[in-house]
């Protein structure tokens, strides 16, 4: 009894539990600080404040000094209360001293200890649950829990009521139905996750295979380049040695000629330094340098004879033997090292390797693709060896002459004669003569008439399309990918783009990949479709004006 009284004295009259940080109003009543501040906050707009317990009013918001003594007592009492029951819920009928509740009756809205539980009704209407503090929380989806009295005479009189057990079973049935829907959804989610895992594994395997292929390719390229380098360096070295040998022979001949000339120069210098003219003339004759001009006298103009003699010596070295020797001793021009041949070998080897790589990875099909005039719209003119499709309004009469059951009726488009049902292929298209076009592939079963026959507007064709327009007085082109009537923009609408002049299309039939690239100064990826192809694929074109051409 004493313990219950003390607990009442230590309980806040607002929250009805032990004080938490108690504060005191000027009237002397104590409250939890948080509780009284909320009350004063609600009174703030009324212009007056009052004590929740004694209703004493204050003109201004009262100060809230802490009651430390009361707070210490409440803190001391709190562990004692906790020991009374771990849940903090006590028997409703034990009024003399708090006894922890063992069960709560939902019908009676009462909590019972073990003693009172033994005397409680055993009827199935009295639903017993674990101790609960608030019975209002135990509500169903469309009603609230009410006691028998409320159903008969209270505000819920006349309302449709049911037992909690029945409501629970109904709720369980609803939940079972939800489970029936959630389980297949979860299974589908699991299958989706498995497919993603499988796709991830495939990508990893393909990435590993492609890495190995590229590594082997570049290893082979390096080996071939090293072999080519070794071969060319050997050729250059051989050419160099050959030229060096020739130059060495010429240099030796020049050295001999140089020595001979030096000897003659020294001899002539000695003659020039002699004072006796007779000796000079005799020396000359002894060396076989007789005057070739018959009829002249040796004693006429000695100075002239000596000068002539010198010229004869030079003439003997220059004209009689020197002419032939100069021809042999010409220094070879730089072109004797065959740079052109070396360059051609490099170019041909590299071009051959690039062509080999292209053939091994993806064969180019331009040479084997021809436009099928039987499928062409009557306004399309097929020329240039069935490589070019040109829209020509003057060809309107062709509708009567050449139109077949395979011809497109409503859109100026055409298919190729050849189709692809396996393998990897690529081809290139010249779009520079048109601004509104579509380039892609289509099944042979594509419709020939109607809106859905336009390539890209059905599920039997995949295209990249260019559209020309004038915006803000400026001509610009936009690009999109189209399939089954859905378009994906490939251009930035805020940026004016230039018309595309050349397109390269790659097809990997088994992988279900169709990729488009713009060929300019650098190759640019435009878009890649992924699909499971079920029919052969024909190359397909549409052009509004101008022409498109399969490049040779």
Every domain of the chain and the residues it spans: 2-84, 88-138, 366-550
Q: Which residues, in sequence order, are bridge partners of residue 103?
A: 112
DSSP-based three-state secondary structure for 53: coil
Q: Is the Cα torsion angle 380, 383, 386, 390 positive or negative in sign?
A: negative
Looking at the chain, the whole-number percentage of residues with pLDDT higher than 70 is 75
Q: Is the pLDDT of residue 26 over 80?
A: yes
Q: What is residue 43's predicted lDDT score, i.e. its pLDDT? A: 86
Q: What is residue 306's predicted lDDT score, i.e. its pLDDT? A: 39
* 210-260: pLDDT as tens digits: 888 888 888 888 888 888 888 888 888 888 888 888 888 889 999 999 999
Fold of the domain spanning 2-84: Herpes Virus-1 (3.30.40)
Q: What is residue 521's predicted lDDT score, i.e. its pLDDT? A: 80
Q: What is residue 439's predicted lDDT score, i.e. its pLDDT? A: 96
Closest among 391, 356, 386, 365 to 374, alpha carbons compared: 386
- Going by their DSSP bridges, the two strands 437-442 and 537-543 should be labelled as antiparallel
CATH number of 366-550: 2.60.120.920
Least confident span in 33-42, 197-206, 451-460, 489-498: 489-498
Q: Is the pLDDT of residue 296 over 80?
A: no
Whether the Cβ atoms of residue 33 and residue 7 lie closer than 8 Å to each other? no
Compute the distance between CA of residue 7 and CA of residue 1 in angstroms, rounded to an integer: 10
Residue 499 corresponds to which tokens in the numbers above? 């018309």
CA 61 to chain centre: 65
Q: Is the pLDDT of residue 138 over 80?
A: no
pLDDT bucket at 129, cuts 50 / 70 / 90:
confident
Residue entry with tokens 């004080």: 19
Give me the chain's average pLDDT, please.
Answer: 79
Least confident span in 338-342, 383-387, 456-460: 338-342
pLDDT bucket at 314, cuts 50 / 70 / 90:
very low
Compute the distance between CA of residue 1 and CA of residue 77 in angstroms, rounded to an integer: 15
Whether the Cβ atoms of residue 93 and residue 116 lie closer than 8 Å to each other? yes
Looking at per-residue pLDDT, the higher value among 373 and 476 belongs to 373
Q: Give every CB contact of residue 113 below 8 A, 6+ residues apart in sequence.
A: 90, 91, 93, 94, 99, 100, 101, 102
Whether the Cβ atoms of residue 459 and residue 435 lie closer than 8 Å to each other? no
Q: What is residue 150's predicted lDDT score, i.e. its pLDDT? A: 61
Least confident span in 184-193, 319-328, 358-367: 319-328
Burial grade of 55 (CB within 10 A; 0-12, 13-18, 19 or more): exposed
pLDDT bucket at 486, cuts 50 / 70 / 90:
very high
Q: Give every CB contact of residue 496 below 8 A, 6+ residues apart in sequence.
A: 474, 476
Q: Is the pLDDT of residue 471 over 80?
A: no
Compute the distance between CA of residue 550 and CA of residue 425 in angstroms, rounded to an integer: 14
Looking at per-residue pLDDT, the higher value among 292 and 331 belongs to 331
Q: Is the pLDDT of residue 371 over 80?
A: yes
Looking at per-residue pLDDT, the higher value among 310 and 372 belongs to 372
Compute the distance between CA of residue 51 and CA of residue 13 in angstroms, rounded to an integer: 11
Looking at per-residue pLDDT, the higher value among 400 and 129 belongs to 129
């Amino acid at each position: 009894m004493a313990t219950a009284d003390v607990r009442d004295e230590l309980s806040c009259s607002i929250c009805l539990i032990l004080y938490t940080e108690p504060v005191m109003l000027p009237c002397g009543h104590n409250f939890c600080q948080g509780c009284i501040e909320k009350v004063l906050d609600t009174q703030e707009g009324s212009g007056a404040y009052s004590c929740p317990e004694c209703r004493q009013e204050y003109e201004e918001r009262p100060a809230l000094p802490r009651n430390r003594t009361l707070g210490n007592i409440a803190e001391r009492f709190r562990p004692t209360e906790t020991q009374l029951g771990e849940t903090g819920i006590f028997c409703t009928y034990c009024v003399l001293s708090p006894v922890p509740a063992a069960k709560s009756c939902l019908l009676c809205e009462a909590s019972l200890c073990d003693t009172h539980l033994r005397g409680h009704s055993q009827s199935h209407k009295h639903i017993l649950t674990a101790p609960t503090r608030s019975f209002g929380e135990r509500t169903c989806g469309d009603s609230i829990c009410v006691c028998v009295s409320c159903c008969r005479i209270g505000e819920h009189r006349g309302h449709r009521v049911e037992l909690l057990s029945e409501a629970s079973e109904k709720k369980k049935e609803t939940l079972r139905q939800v489970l029936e829907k959630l389980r297949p959804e979860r299974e589908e989610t699991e299958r989706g996750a498995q497919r993603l895992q499988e796709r991830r594994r495939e990508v990893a395997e393909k990435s590993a295979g492609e890495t190995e292929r590229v590594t082997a390719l570049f290893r082979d390229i390096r080996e071939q380049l090293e072999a080519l380098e070794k071969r060319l360096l050997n050729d250059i070295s051989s050419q160099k040695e050959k030229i060096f040998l020739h130059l060495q022979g010429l240099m030796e001949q020049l050295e001999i000629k140089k020595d001979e000339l030096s000897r003659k120069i020294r001899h002539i210098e000695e003659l020039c330094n002699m004072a006796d003219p007779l000796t000079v003339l005799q020396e000359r004759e002894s060396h076989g340098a007789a005057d070739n001009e018959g009829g002249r006298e040796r004693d006429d103009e000695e100075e002239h004879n000596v000068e002539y003699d010198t010229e004869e010596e030079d003439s003997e070295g220059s004209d009689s033997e020197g002419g032939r020797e100069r021809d042999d001793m010409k220094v070879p021009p730089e072109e004797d090292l065959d740079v052109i041949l070396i360059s051609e070998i490099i170019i041909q080897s590299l071009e051959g390797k690039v062509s080999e790589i292209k053939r091994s990875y993806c064969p180019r099909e331009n040479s084997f693709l021809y436009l099928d005039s039987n499928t062409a719209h009557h306004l399309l003119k097929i020329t240039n060896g069935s490589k070019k499709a040109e829209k020509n309004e003057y060809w309107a009469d062709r509708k009567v002459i050449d139109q077949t059951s395979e011809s497109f009726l409503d859109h100026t488009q055409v298919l190729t004669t050849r189709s692809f049902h396996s393998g990897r292929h690529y081809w290139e298209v010249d779009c520079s003569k048109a601004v509104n076009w579509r380039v892609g592939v289509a099944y042979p079963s594509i419709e020939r008439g109607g809106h859905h026959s336009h390539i890209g507007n059905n599920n039997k064709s995949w295209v990249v399309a260019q559209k020309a327009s004038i915006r803000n007085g400026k001509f610009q082109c936009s690009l999109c990918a189209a399939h089954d009537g859905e378009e994906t923009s490939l251009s930035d609408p805020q940026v004016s783009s230039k018309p595309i002049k050349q397109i390269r299309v790659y097809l990997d039939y088994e992988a279900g990949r169709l990729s488009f690239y713009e060929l300019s100064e650098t190759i640019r990826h435009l878009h890649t479709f992924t699909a499971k192809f079920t029919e052969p694929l024909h190359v397909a074109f549409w052009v509004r004006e101008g022409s498109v051409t399969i490049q040779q």
